Every structure is written in C-alpha cells, then in structure tokens.
Amino acid sequence: MAQPEPAPGRRSGPLCGLLVADFSRVLAGPYCTMLLADLGAEVIKVESPSGDDTRSWVPPTTPDGVSTYFLAINRNKRSVVLDLTSARDLAAARELARRADVLVQNFKPGGLTRFGLDYESVRATNERIVYASISGFGAGGGSHLPGYDLMVQAMSGLMSLTGDPDGPPYRAGISVFDVIAGLHTAIGILAALAHRAATGAGQHVEASLMASALSGMVNQTSACAAGGVVPHRMGNSHPSLFPYEPFPTASGELIVTAGNDAQFRRICEVLGAPGLADDPRFATNAGRTANREQLRPLLAERLATRPARDWFADLIAAGVPCGPINSVAEGIEFARAIGLGPVVPVGEPAVPTIRHPLTFSATAPRYDLPPPALDEHGDQIRAWLAGPPGRPLSEGEP
C-alpha cells in the first residue's frame, strides 16, 4: 500500500532537522544527498558558477529543456552558487560547513585543502561534523586518478565480465559504481550519525568507486580472492547456476532461473518434461551447471512452443522465478501495475520523478522540492548564512 504523502512544503521524514552541505557534483554524491533529502534532511547544493556538470548532459531533456540526468538525482535540494575563488563566497562556504551536520564532497583527494574546506579544517570549527568524501580510487596511491564510472568499470574488472564470451567487453547500461558508491556513502553517513548520537563526536567517512566496485561485484571478486579463480565473460550465463539466463520463446525472451533443485523440478513439470529433473546429469545444480550445454537446448525446445508472457504466468504460478525482458518503459509500467507507484510528481508544474526506493511505516519520504535551477535559492541561502546561527533555513515557509 502506498504511503501517505507529506503536505507540500512541510519538513518531514526521519532525517528532519539534519543540515547537509552538498559540495558534490555529477552522480555518486548527488545521488547520496538526494536520498538523504528525500528522508527529510535539508540539503544545500553548492554549485560553481557554471553549475553541476549534469545540467548540460543532454539529451534527453524534459519538455522545458531540463536535463533528465540532472533531474534524476537532485530532487528536494536548494541551489546556491558559491565561487570558492571569491573571498566573500568562500566565507559563506566555510560558514555553511561550520553550521552543517553533514558535508558531502567528491573533489579529488586534497582538492578542498587550499580553500580550508578539507576535513581537518572543517572539524576545527565544527567537531560534530560528519564529513563524507567520495573519490574514484581513494586518497592513497590512486588519488591522482579522475573518478569516472567508466574508468572504474574497466579497471575493476567488471567490463571483463560483461558481454559475450567471444565478443568485446562492455560497460553496464548505467553508471553502476557511481550508484553503489552513493549508496555506500549514505550508509556510512547514517552510521557516523549514529556514532555521533552516542558519543557527540563526528568523523570522516571515505568512499571510493573502486572499493565500492570490488565490494559490489560480490561473488565474482570472492571467487578471485578466495577461490583463485579469474572470472570471465559468459554472456547472460551465470558461473554457478543453471538455468539462470534468458531463453527464446515463441514470442520474446524469458528469463528462467533455478536457484535450487526444487525450483528446477517445478520448471520441468510446467514444461511437460518431468523426467529431466531425474536425469543424473541434471538432478543437482552442480550437474546442471557442468552439463549446461546439453540441458540448454532441451529447455529451449519446449519454451519455443509458447509466448514468453504465457510461460511467465504459468511458471510464476508454480513458484519459479522468471520474467520477460522489458524495456525501461515496460519496467516502469510493470512497477505501476503491481502497486509500487514508481513515478511521483514534484513541484508546480509537476515534474515526474522516480519514487524513493524505501518505504517507512511512520515517516514517509517527501517530494516537495523539484530539482533546483542554478542558484535558485542563492539569495535566501546567502542571507541565512549572513544572519545569526540557529535559525532554520526554511523558517517561515508553509
């Protein structure tokens, strides 16, 4: 059941009262801070005079010309332009860092030191700060490397796993490690806030795309580290499970998966070939994986007799994990059909955005601020920073 939405403009959520100074740009940092903003944090997005790079990453755009890339990760924030080479703007940036509960930045390691906005400098005036740094390759030997997701997909080994066995390596269809690093950073911030609540002390949280990549590749990096195996491209096949891949049908392809022997038996029953589950070659997952080249055509022959969506209905009814391969539009529509309410409007006129991924029984995420225009809230924020501490930025709003 969908959660009740908070009234427009009213601060709400489990992180209500938390002030986040967002000095990040592009994807990993802004995704992290949007998740925090959705949960009620007051996020001030600090931009250079030229703005976040993703403002110009087009196409596609909304009908009024806004980059949909920027829109995807900047909801519920207020934008202020601060030129850190300007003494007045730098003073405002330092004051923001002094007042903040959380600061998020993804400059190259050491890049904010000359502005007095590095962790040690900020901590000197704000001992409770939870300061989160995101980089491509960490603050050690890789600190000089630029942090682009595609570089990390290549250098972590992910691209060596993606694509057909005899074809070239491919990148994932999204900037997967930017997203994972953003999630890891949000987890780190929340853990540091819990520590602060218990001790009164803030701390420095560091995340890197490379470390997130190695963690996020889970079974593949574990195979290498613990098993001495160097994984390789297998197309849509799984190294440890079979069936676990798409199969052609009379109309469209269908993902069919057997996570255990009982599921495989149910697949065989629905396909009208129960004897396959008793065949010594296929009775166990280890056997199916070892003999996949013999089993694949036997399953494909039966699946080719009916459309994917017919098999989907019957296999799901039998408790078999499976699904058609949808377009992104079809994926959103499917989520809508099963009641997930994937698209939520924000602002007036309404801007369609993708719903926050979490639901809460008592503190619903908020959707009251559309992604901001460059420096949209600049006058308000600069006036607030020039005033006495302690007054909420949103004071006096409805």
Q: Is 22 a catalytic residue?
A: no
Instruction: Find where tokens 């949909």 sit.
Output: 68
Whether the Cβ atoms of residue 238 and residue 244 lie closer than 8 Å to each other: yes
CA dihedral over 378, 382, 383, 387, signed as positive or negative: positive
* Candidate list 52, 101, 118, 178, residue with the active-site label: 178
Which residues have C-beta within 8 Å of that of residue 94, sequence separation ≥ 6? 116, 117, 122, 125
Kindly report the backbone phi and psi dihedral angles of residue 55, in degrees, each rounded to the nearest multiple of 5, phi listed first. Answer: -60, -25
Could you tell me if 30 and 177 are in contact, meaning their C-beta atoms sit under 8 angstroms apart? no
d(CA 238, CA 233) in angstroms, rounded, equals 10
Q: 77-81 and 42-47 as β-strands: parallel, antiparallel, unpaired? A: parallel
Helices (H) and strands (E) in the chain, counts: 15, 11
Q: What long-range pairs does 122-127 form, CB within 8 A, spacing at least 24?
A: 122/94, 122/97, 122/98, 123/202, 123/204, 125/94, 125/97, 125/98, 126/97, 126/98, 126/99, 126/100, 126/202, 127/201, 127/202
Residue type, 29: G
Cα–Cα distance measured from residue 147 to residue 114, given in angstroms and rounded to the nearest whole number = 20
DSSP structure string for 65-127: S-BHHHHHT-TTEEEEE--TTSHHHHHHHHHHHHH-SEEEE-SSTTTTGGGT-SHHHHHHH-T
Amino acid (1-letter code) at residue 268: C
Instruction: Please list the active-site residues.
Output: 178
